[in-house]
Amino acid sequence: MASHHQHHEHSGVALADAARGALEQAGEQWTEMRSDVFSALAQQDRPVSAYDVAEGVSALRGKRVAANSVYRILDLFVRTNLARRVESANAYVANSHPGCRHDCIFLICDSCGKAVHIDDDSLTGALVTAAKSAGFADVRPVVELRGHCADCS
């Protein structure tokens, strides 16, 4: 939504291609397992746990995939901006614009669990400035606002 520049929201095959490009640009390999994890995550319409993703990948591969393996891949995806972590729910969502870096602002519905990610670096800029003034470096703001979405209110 509000940010200092416009970016393109990807979906489907274009999202997977953008994610692969962003991961490779970060110096990482796009393996079959990473592709399957990203696919399982991107198919979800709300934040999901690593266990949910592991179930999706297990179904896709026809064999059980350990949640620990999925956690490691999801952590890599968060570090490389392919996914976002909803801290309060210990859940993940695919980043629909993996080439862009913004601070996370999530609007989370207490009724249905829907999470909307918005970009507004002007809102989180004050948090980054305050953290840097307190001596923190490499600050990664994650702001979560809870309430009821339009469908549930």
**Residue 56's CATH number:** 1.10.10.10
In tens digits, what is the pLDDT along the chain, a chain of 153 residues? 444 444 455 555 778 898 999 999 999 999 999 999 999 999 988 899 999 999 999 999 999 999 999 999 999 999 998 999 998 888 999 988 776 676 778 899 999 988 888 877 788 888 889 999 999 988 878 889 999 999 998
d(CA 48, CA 134): 33
Q: Does 61 reside within a domain?
A: yes
Contacts 24+ apart (CB under 8 A), 15-20: 15/42, 15/94, 15/96, 15/98, 16/42, 18/97, 18/98, 18/99, 19/77, 19/82, 19/94, 19/95, 19/98
Range of the domain at 122: 104-147
**Residue 138's CATH number:** 3.30.1490.190
Give yes or no: residues 37 and 85 share one domain: yes
Query: What predicted TM-score, i.e. pTM, was given to this entire model?
Result: 0.80
Question: For residue 87, what pLDDT is reported?
Answer: 87
d(CA 65, CA 132): 40
The count of structural domains within the chain is 2
Q: Does 153 reside within a domain?
A: no
d(CA 149, CA 110): 8
Give yes or no: residues 90 and 111 share one domain: no
Give yes or no: residues 89 and 127 share one domain: no
